[in-house]
Every structure is written in C-alpha cells, then in structure tokens.
Structure 1
Amino acid sequence: MSYFVGSSAHLCPLCYFRLAVIDKCFSHETVEEIVDALESEAAQLNEEWCSLALKRLKEASPLALKVSLRSIREGRYQTLDECLVREYRMSINGISKPFYHDFCEGVRARLVDKDLSF
C-alpha cells in the first residue's frame, strides 16, 4: 500500500518525526546499512514500529531483501508495465533452480513448520 503526502505541513508532529526516521533508515544503499540504521534507531527511540520493522527484516531471506531493495530502486524510473514485467520475472526466478533451495526453505519455515528458522 502506498501513500502520498502532499505537504509536511498537514502532518502531526509525531507523524512527521516518524517519516523522518523512516527516510533516515531506509535511504541507505544496502540492506545491511538499513538494518544497522534501524537497530540504532530502535535502541534510541524505543518505538514499537521500529522494532517490529527490524524483526520482520531479520525474519526475511537476506537474498530476497537484496533483490527486493534493488527492484524498488529500479522501479522508481520505470513505467507500471515495466514494473509488472520485472515483478513477474522476479517471481519466476525466485522459484527457479539457483534460488529453489531458498524458496523451499522459506516455505518450510514460514508455512509448514512455522518455526521461522531459515
């Protein structure tokens, strides 16, 4: 789900602060830098959303996070049609031979055993 905020003047101070923290953390170049920034902010701010975001990132496949980050970054400069083609190719490649083990392990950890251990 995406949101558009026309002007920061319409935001409450808490929302403006949270958007600033999100921008600060997620504007880094690599997944590792994003996780480090979130860890730092979570320790300083003790905000539940920050800790939850960090938890979700650590539960995800590192390879999937890197592929997704690159896809999001590339999508900024593409049309909707180009984005849909890219997403389709990512889905097909995600279950193909080089990544098959990661896909199966993710399904096992998330859906079968529900132990989240990758």
Structure 2
Amino acid sequence: MEKGQANTVVKVISVLYWIEAAFMLLFGLFILIMGSALGALGTAYQGMGMFGGLFGALAAFFGLFMLIIGVCALVTGFGIWKHKSWARVVATIVSVVGLFSFPIGTIINGGILYFLWFNDDVKKLFN
C-alpha cells in the first residue's frame, strides 16, 4: 500500500468515527429529552410515584453518557484525520470494545485495528 492509499484508509476510519459520533449525539439528545419528559409525566400519574422520577433520572444519565461518548468519538475522528498518535490509541480502545458488537461491529472494528496497528504505511502516518 502506498502513502496515498494509506491516507485514504485513515480518512475512511475518521469518517466512520464521525458517523458513530453523529448517531451517538442524536440518540443521546433524544434519550435525554424524551426520557426526562416521560419521567416527568410519570411522576404526574397517581400510581407511578418515584418510578417516574427514577426513570427520568436514568434516562438523563444514559442520555448524557451517550452525548459524552459522541463528543469523544467526534474528537477522535478529527484526531485520526490529522494523524495524531493519541487518536490512534483512543481508536484502538474503542475498537477493542467494539469487537463485541457481533457481527458487523466485529468486522468493522477488526479492520480498523488491523489498519491502525498492522499496516506499516498507516503506522508511518501516525509517527
């Protein structure tokens, strides 16, 4: 693989991280807003009591967590685009976790790990 092809592979990996970030940010915002609203509505009903508030709090926590992960994925995508070595390490950690997303996540994250760590031309871009 020549340098131009290696650079294209790195750009594709960064775009994959941006797509992941977009989904995480959208779903995180959706869960944060809708879950909190449903939690607030649940407390208004007579039999729900604390369960509505608990649901709202859990939804808010999970939504915020997804927003934080989305921002991290966005920053990682920009770091990979700019060939930053820290982004390669972060992408490795995320890809190792993503290997458990069988079957498509395993294939995509396995490819990302292969190119980031075992392809000499891609490794040269990050050094």
Asked if TM exceeds 0.5, the reply is no
Which structure shows the higher helix fraction? 2
TM-score for the superposition, normalised by structure 2: 0.30
TM-score (norm 1): 0.32
